[in-house]
Structure 1
Amino acid sequence: MSIVFACMDADTLGGIQQVTHTLAQGLAVRGHDVHVIGLHRAATPFRYVAEPRYRKHVVGRGPMGPEGRLARRAADRRLRAVFESVTPGFAVLTSPGVVTRLVPMLPRRLRPIGQYHGSYEHARGSWHLGSIRRHYPELDQAVFLSDDDAWLFSEHALLPNTWSVPNPLAAWPAKTSPLSNPRVLGVGRLEGVKRFDRLISAFARTGNPGWELHLLGDGAEESRLRAHAEREGVADRVVFRGRVPAAQMPAEYMNAAVLALTSEHEGLPVVLLEAAAHGVPAVAFDVSGGVRSTGPELVPAGDVRKFASALSDLMSSPDERRRLGAAARARAAAFRLDQVLDRWETLFAHMTR
């Protein structure tokens, strides 16, 4: 069958894009005719798959932002040309913005699936929930990242068509971290929503000398975060590593003892899954059903004092790190790529009955 994934921007470094390309490659390897559409061109394209077995189409000629009528018409022509080349199947629309843009244009032979990569907690605090309420009931299926989120959207957005499929792990490591290197890992864009300032403050309060906090990612907040580390008295132990290529991330997990996640909101962070697969325990703010499903040590959202306490407990106890790391890896097995692909194919089969 044909499967089309459509993103606002398919090539920026981000969680939606990483998951989309991982699923596209996996389903293409299984023999499906898979296409990935980017409605806009990435300002800094990132290559997720070295040898893609699927076809990629970028229909917009500029980055996300205001789009003139002529540019929109040209993009729409390119979209229709892609749709005309695709045989019957499914269109996975990866965000509310993509749903509102593409549903009026989809041919009837492509059955629309509205995917949402955020949590219900995040959606209700933004325009997303209103858009989902208006547009997702008309789709053939609405897909969320966890059973908790699917239930919450079903109850509070009155969706009759919910389903849950988690994000996948692209690979399963053969080895796990020894958890002996005194390093806490924070991974993500250095932007406000990730709240690395809270992580730096929590790390400073742990009082565990000899440990370092490594932040992997780049972004506009770097200078402010460096100044914050200076004020907290840990500038010499907070290491800003910049963007790390995907191929080098397994080595980063192997050299870490704890992962820390302090985001204001998340859907189902792949970084939690990757760390767990490497046997690395995590501390995270309790911000979504997706975060809860991966089994980290949960802390009430925004509570830096409790986060510091949970982080310090893991930093101080090798036995506890090993126990929680082994449990995390066992739980992460449910997110292996083959199992997630099976769930997508089960969904497709359900829709065709």
Structure 2
Amino acid sequence: MKALVTGGAGFIGSNLTAELVKQGNDVFVVDDLSMGKIENLVGIDKNKLQFCEHSITDYAFMRQLLIEKKFDHIVLLAAVASVADSIERPYETHLVNQEANVNILETVRKYKLPVKKIIFSSSAAVYGNLPDLPKKETSRVDPLTPYAIDKFATERFVVNYGRLYNIPTVATRFFNVYGPKQNPQSPYSGVLSIITECLRNNQTFTLYGDGKQERDFIYVADVVKALILLLQSDAKHKVYNVATGKTNSLLEVIHEMEEIAGRNLKMTMGPERTGDIKYSQADISELGKLGFAADNNLAIGLEKYLKYEKI
């Protein structure tokens, strides 16, 4: 199979790219390296990997690439994955998080490209702070920020382009992903990578809010497993939660990481951040119907992660 992974030098993208290549696929990565790192692709078979440093907002470039390469699989992971940044720069982030993806869909439609599957990576942020838990794909949504609005709107484009124009599309709502190759220096970084860096360097971690906010944390290898399952399945025109179905508070996670690392985390308290969601938990029964179950609970995933980071 020939696969295109946008954002393929990023955290999730590089892990997915490595596994796709390992399984014998040819992978083309487009990434502008604003969030990803070329080092994330080191060690991947270069005979099976092509990398292009480019922005997906260059519509003409992306259109030509899609027409020339005729990819079997397209995984849309490129995004400005920062709630805070979307609040500061709503239009600029919109161009990446929505418009560029619609251009890809429109190219596939207009030129009748023979794509076997398109996956768009959305986010649990679309659910907002509505109280009903766990979140089902059919639950009400309440996107609170430009980031979440763009993710939800693009989901609808992806699913309904699929239905209207007979394109095999699916969307995934990632919950809180953690694991190797997450960049703690990035302003868009996940909280667990920041905690890991603070543990490594004996730095002070700023805990925003009371630490009782609950998240459904999922190890990146399980996210990759879910994406490949969806690529290989007959699933189409649906949205799938990608998570474990279990939650932990941030304070519980910090305690677990301290136990594994054998050291205490220095902390200072900060105010709750605008747009942050208090409680988040997924219902993963739809993905379960395709045979998915996470291989790593929080303790196992954190141990693997901290071992990788040599903490």
TM-score, normalised to structure 2's length? Answer: 0.45
Higher relative contact order (CA 8 A, sep 6+): 2
Structure with bigger gyration radius: 1
How high is the TM-score relative to the length of structure 1?
A: 0.41
